[in-house]
Structure formats: structure tokens, C-alpha cells
Structure 1
Amino acid sequence: MKIYLIRHGEPDYHQVTEAKYKGFGRDLARLTETGIAQAKANTGHSIFDEIELVLSSPYTRAMQTTLEMVRFQNISVIVELLLHEWLPDKTGTKLASAEQVPSAYLDYLNGTNESPLQCESKEEVYERVSQVFDAYKSKGYECIACVTHAAVIRLFTGLEDIDFCGIYEFNY
């Protein structure tokens, strides 16, 4: 199955920061005006001539990106819970500030367990997202797009630099 992985547009964390949202609340951040323009720039992309379905991460920035890209397309969209970003705190209770994330991210990158947060490992992210891909492959889809996050795209493509609204093709 061919999959186009698309990173969400540039997020705007000002509103959630001002509201003092923590943990999963930060995932409610919307796109910046630049992020909206990035998503709109993909609307005429040739992938829409071949994809059968668009899957979206449930995070606001991914769903807003999906909305802007498919607004004038005749294509189905499904929000898939398991396409979300890497979790710096699997418990959802320990992450109190954005400043804690860098040490958890180093744990993620290095496969260590030195952060006080219980972060999701690369293996866990890969397994979680593979469950989604397996489900759609077993349903007979030949070409889909997934609006998701940089950490997910890096795992499946091996690329390091993942641009906002970048489109990355791979065979699953």
C-alpha cells in the first residue's frame, strides 16, 4: 500500500499557553496563519488524484491541516486516534510544562529512561501507527494519505528533516 505521510502545518501555541493548558491540553493548539497557508498550498497537489482516503491525527493542528487541504476535494477523511504525536508522558499526569519535554525527547531519541516522565519509545510509536496502517491495508486500500507528526514520519521514512506540510511517500 502506498502511503503519503503529511506533516501538519505550523502550530500556534499562544492560545493554549495563555490558557495555561498542560499535558494533552497543549495538543489543542491551532495553526498559525502561516500554517494555514502551508496547508492550503497542498490543495492542488497531484496526490489527490490517486489517494482513496485521508487519515488524520486527532490533534487540532493535524485536523485543521486536513480540513484546509481537502476542503474542495471529494475525498473521505477519518480521524484516527493512534496517528497522534509521540507522547512525552504516557501517564498524562506528569507533564507540567513545555520545558520538561526536551529531556523526555532525548530519552526517546536515545532509547534511555532517564527522564522523570514516562515517555513513549520509538518501538511503541511504530507499533501504534502500524496498527492503523495494517487495518487499512487489510481493508484493501492501495493508496492513502495520513496527516500526522514529524516523529511518526521520521520513523517510517528514515528522514530527519520533516517540513511543515511536507509530503513524504513510502510503501507499506
Structure 2
Amino acid sequence: MTTVYFVRHAEPNYNNHDDELRELTEKGLEDRKLVTEYLSDKSIDVVLSSPYKRAVDTVMDFASYYSMTIEKIYDFRERKVDSEWIEDFIGFCKRQWADFNYKYTDGETLAEVQKRNISALKQVLEQYENKNIVIGSHGTALSTIINYYDPTYGFEEFDKIRQLMPWIVKLTFVGKKLIDMESVNVFEMLNE
């Protein structure tokens, strides 16, 4: 059995419009400790991540604590929206979720994001079969992975997690066959 913990990044600094270099806020840096706490008893074998700073930095606290390196995988990066900052992001998201082939001129479709993320995931499942894996990820990229396995997951579900940062989705596989998917709200752990 292979267990993959996709970790959607903690709160980023939206004043930084550089998608690759957008850092975590002070709150994000603090909240990533919840990820470390959740993963601490999961016998993690490998830590992977999107190369984007906010994703790497979210799993960095865990990796550093356990003296693990983070392997960056470019295909786990977030969707490219466009070269320009989008003011009506919600309207754009609704349109993309309604049509997986919709994109701005210089951006990616959700179908393209899903294809490269699923391809990268399948390679990880081959390379790290029967391991426990952490993957630093993003809200849209992760949501397209969920949609691949559960096509009923659409804009409404995406909108519910839009402000949930960090957020963990645990996927359990036998070979490449998904046998279980569980959403983990690390903030709810504080109240248990």
C-alpha cells in the first residue's frame, strides 16, 4: 500500500504577484507547524513538492525537523492563470471549472493541469511504491487531482477549500489504484 499526503500550502503573501516566488505570510509560517504535527507519526519515507516557494516552504518545517530533503517536481506546480494578475479570480475559476478546456491566452486549462499532475503522481506511485509520501501542492492543482478520481468534485467543492491553507488530502493506493481518499483539516485537530 502507498500513502500520499498532498499538502496544500499555507497562507501566501498575495501582495507578491510572482507565482513561483510567492512566500508565506507570518501566519502561513506559523500554520505550517500544524502540518508537521499531523505528519509526525505517519512514518514518512520521502518529501516531494511543487517547486513553487510557498509549497516548498509549507513542507520545509516537517522536512527540516526530520532531516529529510525535499525533491522538487516541476509537474506538481500550480496552474498558470496568465502573465497578468487576474482581478476577478472567482469569476475566472467558475468559468474554468465549468469548462476544463477554458484558459486565458497565456495560461493553462484545468485539463492540462490535471494531465501533468496525474502523470507526475503516477510516476511517483511507481518510484515509491509501498512508501509514505508527502507532496507539497496547491489548491487548484490538488483539486484537479481529486476531480480525476472523483468527477463530482467541481467548483463548489473547490470554493469550500479556497481559503483553507494549509490543507491535506490523504490518498491511499494499491499499485496505481486509489482505494481511499480523506480530506484533513489540520485546524480541526486543534479542537480535538
1:111 to 91, 96, 99: 99
More off after superposition, 112-121 vs 66-75: 112-121
Higher relative contact order (CA 8 A, sep 6+): 1
Pick from 144, 149, 163: which aligns with 1:155? 144
Asked whether 1:84 is paired with 2:77, we answer yes
Mapped to 2, the partners of 1:79 and 1:153 lie a distance apart of: 16
C-alpha contact (below 8 Å) 1:53/1:75 kept by paired residues:
yes
What are the superposed Cα offsets for residues 91-114 of structure 1, whole Å, 9 maximum, x if unpaired?
A: xxxx32332645543332111767
Which amino acid in structure 2 is aligned with residue 11 of structure 1?
P
Q: Is the 8 A contact 2:100 2:110 kept in 1?
A: no
With the length of structure 2 as denominator, give the TM-score of the two structures.
Answer: 0.71
Q: Which residue of 1 aligns with 2:3?
A: 2
| Shift in Å, 1:148 | 0.4
Residue 24 (structure 2) aligned to one of 18, 22, 31 = 31
SS in structure 2 opposite 1:63? helix
Q: Supply the distance in 2 between the matched residues of 1:114 and 1:123 (Cα, whole angstroms).
A: 9
C-alpha RMSD over aligned residues: 2.4
The question of 1:136 aligning with 2:143 is answered no
1:49-68 mapped onto 2 (5 Å cutoff): 49-68=42-61
Query: C-alpha separation between the residues in 1 aligned to 2:69 and 2:112?
Result: 28
For the 8 Å contact 1:122–1:155, the answer to whether it is kept is yes
Tell me the number of residue pairs that the alignment of Structure 1 and Structure 2 aligns. Answer: 159
Please list the CA deviations of residues 60-114 of structure 1 after superposition, one character each: whole Å capped at 9, or x if unmatched.
111111212322113332011111111213xxxxx32332645543332111767
- Give yes or no for the alignment of 1:41 onto 2:27: no
CA displacement 1:151-170 (0-9 Å, x = unmatched): 12222334533321111111
CA–CA separation in structure 2 for the residues paired with 1:116 and 1:167:
29
2:171 corresponds to: 170
Provide the C-alpha distance between the structure 1 equivalents of 2:90 and 2:125, rounded to a whole number of angstroms: 35
Deviation, 1:30, is 0.6
SS class of match (2:144): helix
CA contact (8 A) 1:104 1:117 kept: no
TM-score, with structure 1 as normaliser: 0.78
Unaligned runs of 5+ in 1: 90-94
Distance 1:113 1:122 in 2: 7
Percentage identity across aligned positions?
A: 22
